[in-house]
Amino acid sequence: MVRLVSCARRVCTNGELGVTLGDRLAQLAKGRRTALPRQRTLLDTKDWSYGLLSESGKTILRRLSIFAGAFSLGAACAIAAFGGLSIKAVEDGVGNLVAKSRLSLERDHNLLLYRMLDTTREYFGHADM
């Protein structure tokens, strides 16, 4: 993010930069033309990464994007286990999403909690799902 601000500062005033940084994905929608297509912008990377997931993984990730903070596996199952997805499928899917770094895992005392990056959550508001 520091590199982004440094680059953006060259073309924006402080006030303009503050406004544009409020929308992470829009600010990162331009990239180098010489980069691989999936590496040109954050949106391109998110699209590419999302495309690598199984259909159940995509469904689980979309459903879990409602959580603004940390959530338990039980909460994930309560939100995502319907419409053909069993609790076991959601548990396995959450584990796969952690293994693929789409979700992070944190320990709070004796609880295991999961979290989605804000940019990943915001992606679902921009992407054509």
Q: Indicate if 19 and 44 belong to the same structural domain.
A: no
Average pLDDT over residues 101-111: 91
Q: Indicate if 94 and 46 belong to the same structural domain.
A: yes
Q: Indicate if 12 and 39 belong to the same structural domain.
A: no
Q: What is the CATH number of the domain that holds 66?
A: 1.10.10.10
Residue type, 27: Q
d(CA 17, CA 58): 33
Q: Indicate if 86 and 42 belong to the same structural domain.
A: yes
* Pair 66, 75: CB distance under 8 Å: no
2 pLDDT tier (thresholds 50, 70, 90): very low
d(CA 106, CA 62): 20
CA 80 vs CA 86, 97, 105: distances in Å: 9, 13, 18
pTM for the predicted model, two decimal places? 0.68
Enclosing domain of residue 102: 34-126
Q: Indicate if 75 and 116 belong to the same structural domain.
A: yes
Question: What's the domain count of the chain?
Answer: 2
Name the DSSP letter for residue 18.
Answer: H
Closest CA to 74 of 58, 90, 61: 90
Average pLDDT over residues 9-15: 59
